[in-house]
Amino acid sequence: MEQEKIGKFISTRRKEKKLTQKELATYLGVSDKSVSKWERGICLPDVSLFKPLCEVLGITLNEFFVGEKLKEENYKEKADENLLQALENSTFAIKEKIVYFKNKWEKEHFFELIITMLIIVFFIIYGFIKNNKVITILFIIIGFVSGMIEHNRKLVYIEKNVSQNKNLETESKHENNKRI
């Protein structure tokens, strides 16, 4: 998607509909500064606003993604291109979110993990020094189980946050549809 081209298209269609940026912003529940950023190609509207924006501007989603009115003969070709591009971006966005929440969890739990590992290592070394195989084996097992538990906690955190973001996006789409 070419942001600048889409931005100019939004601006042109808004003016053709005789709407101000403020009026369009009010209708969509955003600020006029957001509309200005879209029209200057600085950023695109949130995905949840695509459909309501297209309805106001009297365009299709395909025309929005292309940034121009489409002729009937180009429509199917552009629709296919847009679908492929959306799928690629969607898959990449999910991978990005997974990496983001994985890194976030590791930063938030860094000291907890370090302290847990130091305690376990201390008792393993203590078991070796005292020549107590029971303590050594017990803390090796505790270390292994603790690692598995922490790994599962991280996976649950990532899954919860990635799916929660999807749910928030879906909810905001429904709210925008209700406003229309």
Q: What is the pLDDT of residues 44-103, one digit of tens each?
A: 898 889 999 999 999 988 888 888 888 777 777 777 777 777 666 666 577 788 888 999
Q: Are residues 98 and 46 in the same domain?
A: no
Q: Are residues 27 and 96 in the same domain?
A: no
The pLDDT tens digits for 135-152 are 899 999 999 999 999 999
Could you give the residue ranges of the DSSP H alpha helices within the chain?
3-16, 21-28, 32-39, 50-57, 61-66, 72-108, 110-129, 133-179
Neighbouring residues of 65: CB distance < 8 A, sequence distance ≥ 6: 1, 6, 78, 82, 85, 86
Q: Are residues 171 and 99 in the same domain?
A: yes
Q: Calculate the alpha carbon distances from 169 to 11, 35, 77, 97, 132 in Å.
A: 25, 20, 28, 13, 56
Question: 129 lies in which domain range?
Answer: 92-179
Q: Are residues 30 and 106 in the same domain?
A: no
Q: Are residues 169 and 120 in the same domain?
A: yes
Q: What CATH number did the domain enclosing 23 receive?
A: 1.10.260.40
**Among 47, 65, 64, 55, which Cα is nearest to 174's?**
47
| This prediction's pTM | 0.48
Length of the chain: 180
Whether residue 7 is contained in a domain is answered as yes
Q: Are residues 101 and 157 in the same domain?
A: yes
Q: Are residues 49 and 120 in the same domain?
A: no
Extract the tokens encoding 57.
């501007």
Q: What is the C-alpha to C-alpha distance for residues 157 and 103, in angstroms, rounded to an integer? A: 11
